[in-house]
């Protein structure tokens, strides 16, 4: 008997997280399936980033659990994350892409091939020898994407990757995300940019005050949100 | 390729910094050598710099001198950390031998102690032959007196003189009697800075440069005699002691060749140490 | 004033004549202190990095002890090493007392806590920045240590220089364990102490100037290295 070669669907059951006596997330139950990008949206402080970190195991939930499909131990190796502020090593562009590939235990030739592919994908091949920290903000975020993409994750988490970027850089990042999604990578992404969610999302998880209020296909979410809070949020009202 | 030149420069700079560290530290440790624990007076007067090269030339044995106060030098011998002890405090040396730490003790050479003080001489001791009378006058005048205070041979000699003078200088401690707990040189520096009296060995005094207003005020008293002795550290107690080479050094320094080398050492034409291994030891 | 000008001209003469005895003392100083820095770096930097990345019971006490050891009096360190290396001591059979190796051990003992404590401070900031990303890559604290050491290399160079400064300026410990033996364990600082006690203050001061110049040169070289590469790496 063989397990299917996928770690999806990803399931969160009764997930809660508290820190310093503050309940940030409560009772989140959610299934994320393979397919087009899943967007986590909601007002500031809704718990989007914390939920992303719980799913990626950067945080340990104080209640509930996160479970992946497939063989145990596989899930960790087959997901990656890109942060709002790219965390780049003080090394060259190429060395940044190679670093996690070496951690993953890939052979040297495979590392070189994948790094090259990653840099090609984001259009940074010409800058491979440059110090990563000398790149512009947009280039840095593209490098972070290349580094994640080179790991060939099945699931890629993105935490507000365009929050500090100008429109041109944002567009470049969106194109890369779309390309990754098209090639079969499951994107799970937070954003505060509703336009971005409209352009890219396959389904939307709406968070409000640490709870999931809606999880629906993007089309229906944006056309007829089910909850008052989501509707207000979509109208651009201050929701609290 | 970008960075190749940079890498070369970096590598060169790192190598420049690392190179001295990579030179083997033990390069000279292979040669035949002995360690002699001795006193600051013999080292700082320059005597060893004069006689040791002669010994090394004759025997191929390098002598490493650790210069300390006599008390500390004997302690180093007690721990077995030197092969030979060469110091100047007969009572302490005899105790060292009696306790089985080494020996036998041989007398090698002598010089003398001198009473040094400021040219203004507030205690009026200049020209006295009687060193104990000089100390009594210093105590009476409560004139500043710097003591080594470090269990050195000179310190022991000074304490003997105070006792002979019938004075306990410790009563003046913290006032006119100042124990610095340091070697001869630092003590002389202190005396020079404070215009104080001090008992010094002649060898260190002759090679001492920072005299300022200090000058010799009392000398020539037979009680100012300063005898040096040498002994091998007991190899039965400390198997690592290089007994054969250490004994070779002792034999040499007691031999006519060694004795002549000592006699030949002069500063400004003045002989510093007087070899007396061939004669019976005075006062013994 | 006279002594000072005397010292300056003596210093210049020492340098100009390249007196072999002085050269030997200078080279030994560099060798002992740089080796001590290398040894201390091998222990202190990974220790500092580990303290920066890990959280375990006893971590705070270790940090407190390290910070306190930064103030360890050299004489005390010297005495401890002396008693260890003495022929009557536990490591006496090594025959290291009164050798340059003993001086390296003493200086390394003095500066390892300094390197570890400073490295921890420097790397804690870097770890704060890197932690999530490295964990996302699946790198635990052990794997993070070499990464932080490499990525913090420019700041750590300054840490090493602080250690080198302390090592090369130190006299109390090396004079005890080295014995200030002429031509064998005499380094700049012990030579300065000796000339001071011989009352040759201008020569002592001149040697001090030579030492300062050397320390300055090492610092300038390392700092230049740091600046060039740091400008590159951002």
Measured between CB atoms, does A104 come within 8 Å of chain C?
yes
Q: Where in the sequence is the domain holding A189, given as residue range(s)?
A: 1-78+154-240
For A145-206, give the DSSP string: HHHHHHT--SEEEEESTTTT--HHHHHHHHHHHHHHHHTTPEEEEE-S-HHHHHHH-SEEEE
In this structure, the answer to whether residues A215 and A174 fall within a common structural domain is: yes
In this structure, the answer to whether residues A158 and A240 fall within a common structural domain is: yes
Contacts of B79 in chain C (CB under 8 A): 86-89
Contacts of A81 in chain C (CB under 8 A): 136
**Chains in contact with A, where contact requires at least 3 CB pairs less than 8 Å apart:** B, C
**pLDDT at position A2:** 46
Q: Which of C125, C127, C136, C157 to mutate to test the interface with A (most CBs of A within 10 A)?
A: C136
Could you tell me the CATH number of the domain that includes residue A221? 3.40.50.300
Phi, psi of B7, rounded to the nearest 5 degrees: -60, -40
Would you say residue A83 lies in a domain?
no
Contacts of C132 in chain A (CB under 8 A): 53, 58, 83, 87
Q: A111: which 2 tokens?
A: 């590392």
Could you tell me the CATH number of the domain that includes residue C169? 1.10.3720.10
Domain-terminating residue out of A131, A152, A173? A152
pLDDT tens-digit series, residues A166-182: 999 999 999 999 999 99
C204-223 in b/e burial notation, b at 16+ Cβ within 10 A? bbbbbbbbeebbeebeeebe
Q: C141: which 2 tokens?
A: 């604290």
Residue with tokens 């799970």: A188
**pLDDT in 10s for each residue of chain A, 240 residues:** 444 588 889 999 999 999 988 999 999 999 999 999 999 999 988 999 999 999 999 999 999 999 998 877 788 889 999 999 999 999 999 999 999 999 999 999 999 999 999 999 999 999 999 999 999 999 999 999 999 999 999 999 999 999 989 999 999 999 999 999 999 999 999 998 999 999 999 999 999 999 999 999 999 999 999 999 999 999 887 665
pLDDT tens-digit series, residues C36-77: 999 999 999 999 999 999 888 889 999 999 989 988 999 999
In this structure, the answer to whether residues A159 and A63 fall within a common structural domain is: yes
- Please give the Cα distance from A185 to A178 (Å, whole number): 10
> CA of C73 to nearest chain B CA: how many angstroms apart?
18
**Chains in contact with B, where contact requires at least 3 CB pairs less than 8 Å apart:** A, C
**Residue in chain A lying closest to C130 (CA):** A87
Contacts of B5 in chain A (CB under 8 A): none
In this structure, the answer to whether residues A65 and A178 fall within a common structural domain is: yes
Contacts of C138 in chain A (CB under 8 A): 76-77, 100, 103-104
Measured between CB atoms, does B27 come within 8 Å of chain A?
no
C-alpha to C-alpha distances, A1 to A5, B39, C184, nearest whole angstrom: 12, 87, 75
C-alpha to C-alpha distances, C211 to C11, C13, C14, C64, nearest whole angstrom: 10, 14, 12, 33
Q: Do B265 and B50 touch, CB atoms closer than 8 A?
A: yes
Q: Which one-letter DSSP state was computed for residue A85? A: S
In this structure, the answer to whether residues A72 and A169 fall within a common structural domain is: yes
- Please give the Cα distance from C234 to A131 (Å, whole number): 7
Measured between CB atoms, does B1 come within 8 Å of chain A?
yes
Residues facing residue B39 across a β-bridge: B68
In this structure, the answer to whether residues A7 and A57 fall within a common structural domain is: yes
**pLDDT at position C199:** 81
**pLDDT at position B164:** 94
Would you say residue A1 lies in a domain?
yes
**Residue in chain B lying closest to A126 (CA):** B2
> CA of A216 to nearest chain C CA: how many angstroms apart?
28
Query: Which of these, A1, A8, A35, A13, lies nearest to A182 by C-alpha position?
Result: A35
**Residue in chain A lying closest to C153 (CA):** A90
H-helix or E-strand spanning residue C228: helix C201-233
Q: Do B113 and B199 touch, CB atoms closer than 8 A?
A: yes
pLDDT: is B23 or A223 the higher one?
A223
pLDDT tens-digit series, residues B172-181: 888 899 999 8
**Residue in chain C lying closest to B39 (CA):** C179
Domain-terminating residue out of A105, A123, A152? A152
In this structure, the answer to whether residues A111 and A180 fall within a common structural domain is: no
Q: Which of residues 87-106 of A touch B (CB under 8 A)?
A: 92
Domain-terminating residue out of A152, A169, A204? A152
Cβ C136–A58 below 8 Å, yes or no? Answer: yes
ipTM of the prediction:
0.90
Q: B174: which 2 tokens?
A: 């913290």
In this structure, the answer to whether residues A96 and A146 fall within a common structural domain is: yes
**pLDDT at position B28:** 47
pTM here? 0.84
In this structure, the answer to whether residues A231 and A122 fall within a common structural domain is: no
Q: How many domains does chain A have?
A: 2
Q: How many domains does chain C have?
A: 1
Q: Where in the sequence is the domain holding C184, given as residue range(s)?
A: 2-233
Q: Which of C125, C127, C137, C154 to mutate to test the interface with A (most CBs of A within 10 A)?
A: C137
Alpha helices in chain B (DSSP H): 4-22, 40-44, 47-59, 70-78, 90-98, 131-141, 153-165, 184-194, 202-207, 243-254, 256-264
A1: Cβ contacts below 8 Å, ≥ 6 apart:
none
């Amino acid at each position: 008997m063989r397990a299917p070669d996928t770690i999806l669907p990803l399931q969160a059951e009764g997930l809660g997280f508290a820190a310093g006596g503050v309940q940030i997330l409560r009772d989140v139950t959610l299934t994320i399936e393979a397919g087009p990008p899943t967007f986590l949206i909601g007002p500031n402080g809704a718990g989007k980033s914390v939920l992303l970190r719980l799913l990626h195991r950067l945080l340990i939930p104080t209640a509930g659990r996160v479970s992946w499909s497939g063989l145990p131990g596989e899930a960790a190796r087959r997901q990656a994350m890109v942060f709002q502020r790219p965390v780049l090593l003080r090394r060259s562009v190429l060395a940044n892409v190679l670093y996690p590939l070496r951690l993953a235990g890939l052979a040297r030739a495979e590392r070189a091939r994948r790094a090259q592919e990653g840099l090609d994908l984001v259009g940074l091949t010409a800058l491979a020898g440059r110090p990563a920290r000398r790149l512009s903000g947009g280039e840095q975020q593209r490098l972070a994407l290349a580094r994640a993409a080179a790991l060939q994750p099945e699931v890629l988490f993105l935490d507000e990757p365009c929050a500090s970027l100008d429109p041109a850089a944002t567009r470049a990042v969106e194109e890369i995300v779309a390309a990754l999604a098209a090639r079969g990578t499951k994107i799970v992404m937070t954003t505060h940019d509703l336009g971005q969610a409209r352009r890219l999302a396959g389904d939307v998880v709406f968070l409000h005050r640490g709870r999931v209020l809606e999880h629906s296909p993007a089309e229906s979410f944006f056309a007829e949100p089910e909850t008052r809070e989501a509707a207000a949020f979509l109208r651009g009202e201050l929701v609290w | 390729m970008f960075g190749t030149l940079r890498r070369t420069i970096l590598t060169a700079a790192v190598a420049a910094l690392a190179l001295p560290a990579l030179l083997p530290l033990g390069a000279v440790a292979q040669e035949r050598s002995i360690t002699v624990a001795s006193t600051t007076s013999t080292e700082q007067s320059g005597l060893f710099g004069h006689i040791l090269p002669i010994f090394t030339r004759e025997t191929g044995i390098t002598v490493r001198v650790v210069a300390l106060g006599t008390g500390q030098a004997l302690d180093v011998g007690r721990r077995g950390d030197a092969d030979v002890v060469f110091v100047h405090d007969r009572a302490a040396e005899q105790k060292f031998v009696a306790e089985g730490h080494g020996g036998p003790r041989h007398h090698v050479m002598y010089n003398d102690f001198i009473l040094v003080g400021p040219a203004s001489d507030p205690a009026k001791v200049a020209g006295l032959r009687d060193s104990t009378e000089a100390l009594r006058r210093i105590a009476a005048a409560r004139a500043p007196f710097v003591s080594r205070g470090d269990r050195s041979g000179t310190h022991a000699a000074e304490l003997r003189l105070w006792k002979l003078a019938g004075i306990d200088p410790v009563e003046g401690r913290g006032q006119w009697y100042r124990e610095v707990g340091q070697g001869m040189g630092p003590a002389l520096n202190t005396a020079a800075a404070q215009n104080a009296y001090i008992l010094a060995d002649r060898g260190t005094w002759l090679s001492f440069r920072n005299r300022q207003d200090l000058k010799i005020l009392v000398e020539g008293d037979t009680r100012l005699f300063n005898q040096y002795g040498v002994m091998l550290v007991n190899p039965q107690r400390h198997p690592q002691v290089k007994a054969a080479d250490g004994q070779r050094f002792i034999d040499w320094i007691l031999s006519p060749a060694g004795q002549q080398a000592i006699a030949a050492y002069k500063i400004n034409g003045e002989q510093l140490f007087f070899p007396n291994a061939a004669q019976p030891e005075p006062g013994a | 004033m006279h002594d000072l000008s005397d010292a300056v001209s003596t210093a210049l003469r020492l340098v100009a004549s390249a007196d072999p005895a002085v050269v030997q003392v200078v080279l030994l100083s560099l060798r002992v202190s740089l080796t001590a820095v290398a040894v201390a770096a091998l222990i202190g930097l990974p220790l500092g990095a580990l303290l920066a990345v890990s959280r375990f019971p006893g971590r705070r006490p270790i940090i407190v002890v390290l910070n306190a050891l930064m103030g360890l009096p050299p004489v005390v360190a010297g005495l401890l090493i002396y008693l260890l290396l003495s022929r009557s001591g536990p490591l006496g059979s090594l025959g290291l007392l009164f050798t340059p190796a003993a001086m390296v051990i003493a200086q390394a003992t003095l500066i390892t806590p300094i390197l570890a404590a400073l490295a921890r401070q420097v790397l804690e900031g870097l770890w704060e920045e890197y932690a999530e990303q490295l964990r996302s890559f699946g790198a635990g604290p052990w794997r993070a240590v070499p990464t932080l050491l490499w990525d913090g290399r420019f700041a750590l160079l300054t840490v090493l220089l602080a250690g080198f400064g302390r090592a090369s300026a130190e006299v109390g410990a090396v004079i005890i364990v080295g014995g200030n033996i002429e031509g064998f364990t005499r380094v700049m600082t012990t030579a300065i102490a000796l000339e001071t006690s011989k009352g040759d203050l201008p020569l002592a001061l001149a040697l001090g100037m030579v030492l300062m110049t050397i320390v300055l040169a090492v610092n300038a070289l390392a700092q230049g290295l740091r600046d060039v590469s740091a400008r590159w790496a951002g």
